[in-house]
């Protein structure tokens, strides 16, 4: 089936794309929503312009859609982007990286239902440690590009998701209830390499900003 992936450049949407391809679907394009509102209800969009680089290296067209990021209204923008994917690339299905968020998943379901598209959420309800291990097993190179909860701090930025990382987040989960996959928005990730990429992306420069337990980095790729 021809599908479009709702793509943020982070580990979840990238791994969902990987699974869609593995199960025989043809990824026709990626859809990214750029929210002007950093507190968007639907979209996590750090380093969104680097998504362009990821799309390039996957050889896939990218539909970029701006949104003001106001509750519910941003769904109109998502619908608009999906309609573009239908007309331009004849997609029959949407793939998302939703794991836990019923808020996000049910809204995408409603849009797909309205537009008569299949909706795929291949990470739905997936155990977070299992997901991190799957990323390593499948040779995903993923780094942390933002941390937003105590006791995470600046030292976590640019850390790669590897076995040591998994051990550390397991400890944090026990002690502070930090979600190991960052689903509560505790951290944001960026994929530098995965089996869908023709080459690995290299970081040329980075700008770090933040305070206390809220840090993010802009990457120059």
Residues between 11 and 70 with contacts to another protein, criterion CB under 8 A: 19-20, 23-25
Q: Does 71 bind another protein (CB under 8 A)?
A: no
Q: Which CB atom, from 6 or from 57, has the smaller least distance to another protein?
A: 6
Q: How far is the CB of 144 from another protein (least distance, A)?
A: 25
Q: Which CB atom, from 31 or from 152, has the smaller least distance to another protein?
A: 31
Q: Which CB atom, from 118 or from 153, has the smaller least distance to another protein?
A: 118
Q: Which residues of 27-44 are buried (b: 16+ CB within 10 A; e: fewer)?
A: bbbbbbbbbeeeebbbbb
Tokens 């797909």 belong to residue: 112
Residues between 79 and 138 with contacts to another protein, criterion CB under 8 A: 102, 106, 109-110, 112-113, 116-127
Q: Which CB atom, from 36 or from 114, has the smaller least distance to another protein?
A: 114
Q: Which residues bind another protein (CB under 8 A)?
A: 1, 19-20, 23-25, 102, 106, 109-110, 112-113, 116-127
């Amino acid at each position: 089936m021809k599908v479009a992936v709702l793509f943020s450049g982070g580990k979840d949407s990238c791994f969902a794309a990987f699974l869609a391809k593995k199960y025989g679907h043809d990824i026709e394009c990626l859809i990214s929503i750029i929210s002007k509102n950093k507190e968007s209800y639907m979209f996590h969009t750090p380093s969104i312009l680097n998504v362009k680089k990821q799309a390039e290296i996957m050889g896939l067209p990218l539909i970029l859609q701006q949104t003001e990021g106001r509750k519910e209204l941003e769904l109109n923008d998502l619908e608009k982007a999906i309609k573009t994917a239908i007309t331009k690339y004849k997609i029959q299905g949407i793939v998302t990286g939703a794991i836990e968020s019923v808020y996000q998943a049910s809204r995408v379901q409603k849009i797909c239902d309205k537009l008569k598209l299949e909706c795929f959420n291949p990470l739905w309800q997936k155990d977070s440690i299992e997901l991190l291990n799957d990323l390593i097993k499948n040779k995903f190179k993923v780094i942390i590009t933002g941390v937003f909860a105590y006791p995470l701090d600046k030292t976590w930025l640019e850390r790669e998701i590897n076995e040591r990382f998994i051990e550390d987040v397991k400890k944090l989960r026990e002690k502070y209830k930090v979600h190991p996959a960052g689903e509560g928005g505790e951290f944001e990730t960026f994929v530098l390499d995965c089996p869908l990429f023709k080459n690995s992306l290299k970081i040329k420069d980075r700008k770090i900003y933040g305070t206390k337990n809220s840090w993010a980095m802009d990457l120059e790729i």
